[in-house]
């Protein structure tokens, strides 16, 4: 998803927060110092922003990592194999429309009450009715067959429905009200005990948790600016802190830098169709430069992605070639050799894009120039845009860069290249970005991409019964040797980099088996929280 919110924090607020950090970190139940040591069973973390919408899975909490307070029916292991959680098994009917899940009988919520199929039914019906970012539009109905068996009925087959069972935390029906997001009751490894908005969140071990008991009985999440969080880490007052690349080369006593690979990508969405049409609200559609395949192909093979990683991300990232690099549904044939300037120039020349006296290419009276927009409050996207603009000079393509608010980008994105960011554990993201049925819907296929063969492959992927079968079709949609939505095919995007998520972590603290991280919303690091422990413990 997109990074849309970034609150400015004034110096006075920073001062108060740091005072709070130092005070909180200097006390423990015994009154002794809470400096990290292998015997303590509490952690203090500054690993990301405060979830402004709270902790309600029915409106999206937990989609980018562990719901923490809630458990899900199934989970991915570190190799993206589906494993049990609340669910003990599942069967899919031959027509792919009915998913029947058996639920473990020993699960309790953090208030001690049993988890039953009624809670599952209530969670999914509430989620569907919420019309939130969680898309359950294909869910026709849910039925509790007995106290520990639930059945989902779909309008049409959807292999990616398994992700809904993996990402949707289960809420307690008896405890759900209009303040649930501030006081979540779930069956996950932790329970919320205190939330001081704008400052900190304190959670403690759920004594009724049925799974592997976490080593750490208490976690305190601090909501600090990057500068304040880094200062707290330097002072030895936090155990884990997330940092941007600008801080990653610093040294912090008794802390190590943990670098996690991600599909938290950044790339440029190119309008795919020529100019001329309009949205219902009058926003223009299409671009006469980027609608030319030769332009998009030349850009993709002419970019030096590794230089972007080194220069913009200071080495803390990887080149990106798709929206899902390294995930099970990724087609590795989409990875190309880039920085092929001569080949890119030859491609433009052959397509009729000739340099004028100013060194800018033209074709049929149209200059190879466009404005690349980025969210104004995002420094990484700004830096990527500027670096990309410089690279394009080598191709004779003039790129102007400009930052805008998301409200402004919502009008501009149908007719101008936009620096976007995605990265999900659900292959449906590819459908949303590249299906002809999602053209002009929200931020998805805003460039109006369409390819009949791609549509057909994705239809087969969704209708497949097993994830393994579906992945074969997802991969063909990217590139089947002839066509696809990847760089090898229609190239409606220029994917640039995958960020690394960076954390300073206490030297003796082990964080368990981490998966490739998704886009940076939420706290994806906590997905393995039950495995965290001090070394040799």
Say if residue 359's pLDDT is above 60. yes
- Considering the domain architecture, whether residues 99 and 30 belong to the same structural domain is answered as no
Mean pLDDT in residue range 364-380: 96
Write the pLDDT tens digit of every residue in 30-87.
333 344 455 599 999 999 889 988 999 999 998 877 899 999 999 999 889 999 999 9
Chain-centroid distance, C-alpha 143 = 31
How many CB atoms are located within 10 Å of the residue 340 CB?
17
Q: Which residue, 167, 186, 205, sits at the end of a domain?
A: 186
Say if residue 13's pLDDT is above 90. no
Would the CA dihedral through 258, 262, 264, 270 be positive or negative?
A: positive
Mean pLDDT in residue range 335-350: 97
- Considering the domain architecture, whether residues 456 and 522 belong to the same structural domain is answered as no
pLDDT of residue 242: 96
Read off the pLDDT band of 18 (50, 70, 90): very low
How many CB atoms are located within 10 Å of the residue 298 CB?
29
- Considering the domain architecture, whether residues 236 and 285 belong to the same structural domain is answered as no
Domain containing residue 180: CATH number: 3.40.190.10
377 within 8 A of 327, measured Cβ to Cβ: no
Where b means 16+ CB within 10 Å and e means fewer, 363-374 reads beeebbebbbbb
Domain containing residue 356: CATH number: 3.10.105.10
- Residue with more model confidence, 12 or 344: 344
pLDDT of residue 39: 56
What are residue 463's phi and psi, to 5 degrees? -85, -10
- Considering the domain architecture, whether residues 231 and 271 belong to the same structural domain is answered as no
pTM > 0.85: yes
H helix count then E strand count, the chain: 13, 26
Write the pLDDT tens digit of every residue in 381-414.
999 999 999 999 999 999 999 999 999 999 999 9
- Considering the domain architecture, whether residues 79 and 212 belong to the same structural domain is answered as no
Q: What is the strand order of the sheet 42-46 is part of?
A: 190-196, 200-205, 218-222, 42-46, 240-243, 501-506, 255-260
CA–CA separation, 258 and 26 (whole Å):
25
Write the pLDDT tens digit of every residue in 270-282.
999 999 999 999 9
CA–CA separation, 141 and 143 (whole Å):
7
- Considering the domain architecture, whether residues 316 and 239 belong to the same structural domain is answered as no
- Considering the domain architecture, whether residues 332 and 407 belong to the same structural domain is answered as yes
Mean pLDDT in residue range 420-448: 94
Q: Which residue, 151, 171, 186, sits at the end of a domain?
A: 186
- Considering the domain architecture, whether residues 321 and 459 belong to the same structural domain is answered as yes
pLDDT of residue 65: 75
Q: How many domains does the chain have?
A: 3
- Considering the domain architecture, whether residues 321 and 341 belong to the same structural domain is answered as yes
Mean pLDDT in residue range 12-37: 41
- Considering the domain architecture, whether residues 326 and 294 belong to the same structural domain is answered as yes
pLDDT of residue 36: 46
- Considering the domain architecture, whether residues 251 and 299 belong to the same structural domain is answered as no
Q: Which residue, 144, 167, 186, sits at the end of a domain?
A: 186
Write the pLDDT tens digit of every residue in 248-300.
999 999 999 999 999 999 999 999 999 999 999 999 999 999 999 999 999 99
Range of the domain at 465: 265-499
- Considering the domain architecture, whether residues 198 and 179 belong to the same structural domain is answered as no
Write the pLDDT tens digit of every residue in 90-122.
999 999 999 999 999 999 999 999 999 999 999
């Amino acid at each position: 998803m997109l990074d849309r919110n970034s609150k400015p924090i004034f110096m006075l607020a920073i001062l108060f927060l740091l005072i709070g950090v130092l005070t909180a970190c200097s006390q423990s139940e015994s009154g002794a110092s809470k400096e990290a040591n292998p015997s303590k069973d509490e952690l203090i973390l500054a690993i990301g922003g405060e979830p402004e919408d709270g902790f309600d899975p029915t409106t999206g909490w937990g989609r980018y990592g562990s719901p923490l307070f809630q458990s899900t029916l199934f989970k991915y292991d570190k190799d993206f194999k589906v494993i049990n959680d609340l669910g003990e098994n599942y069967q899919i009917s031959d027509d792919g429309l009915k998913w029947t899940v058996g639920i473990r009988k020993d699960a309790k919520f953090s208030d001690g009450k049993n988890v039953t199929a009624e809670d599952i039914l209530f969670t999914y019906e509430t989620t569907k009715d919420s019309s939130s970012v969680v898309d359950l539009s294909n869910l026709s109905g849910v039925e509790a067959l007995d106290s520990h068996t639930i059945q989902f009925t779909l309008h049409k087959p959807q292999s990616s429905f398994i992700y809904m069972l993996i990402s949707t935390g289960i809420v307690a029906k008896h405890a759900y009200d209009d303040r649930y997001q501030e006081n979540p009751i779930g069956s996950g490894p932790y329970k919320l005990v205190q939330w001081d908005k704008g400052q900190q969140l304190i959670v403690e071990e759920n004594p009724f948790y049925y799974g592997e008991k976490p080593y750490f009985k208490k976690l305190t999440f601090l909501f600090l600016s990057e500068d304040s969080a880094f200062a707290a880490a330097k002072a030895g007052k936090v155990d884990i802190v997330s940092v941007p690349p600008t801080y990653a080369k610093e040294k912090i006593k008794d802390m190590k830098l943990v670098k996690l690979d991600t599909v938290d990508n950044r790339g440029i969405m190119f309008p795919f169709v020529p100019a001329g049409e309009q949205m219902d609200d009058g926003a223009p559609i299409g671009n006469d430069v980027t609608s030319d395949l030769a332009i998009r192909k030349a850009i993709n093979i002419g970019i030096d992605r590794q230089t972007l990683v080194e220069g913009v991300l200071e080495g803390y990232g990887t080149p990106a070639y798709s929206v899902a690099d390294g995930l099970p549904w990724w087609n590795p044939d989409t990875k190309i050799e880039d920085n092929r300037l001569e080949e890119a120039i030859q491609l433009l020349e052959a397509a009729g894009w000739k340099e004028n006296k100013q060194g800018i290419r033209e074709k049929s009276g149209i200059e190879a120039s466009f404005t690349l927009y980025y969210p104004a409050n995002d420094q990484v996207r700004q830096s990527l845009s500027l670096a990309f603009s410089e690279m394009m000079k080598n191709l004779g393509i003039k790129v102007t860069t400009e930052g805008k608010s998301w409200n402004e980008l919502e009008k501009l994105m149908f007719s101008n290249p936009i620096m976007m960011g995605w990265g999900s554990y659900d292959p449906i993201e590819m459908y949303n970005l590249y299906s002809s049925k999602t053209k002009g819907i929200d931020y998805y296929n805003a460039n109006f991409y369409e390819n009949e063969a791609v549509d057909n492959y994705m239809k087969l992927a969704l209708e497949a019964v097993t994830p393994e079968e579906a992945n074969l079709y997802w991969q063909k949609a990217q590139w089947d040797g002839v066509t696809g939505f990847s760089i090898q095919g229609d190239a409606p995007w220029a994917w640039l980099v995958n960020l690394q998520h960076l954390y300073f972590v206490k030297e003796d603290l082990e964080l368990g088996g981490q998966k490739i991280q998704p886009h940076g919303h939420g706290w994806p690091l906590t997905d393995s929280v039950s495995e965290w422990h001090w070394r040799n413990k």
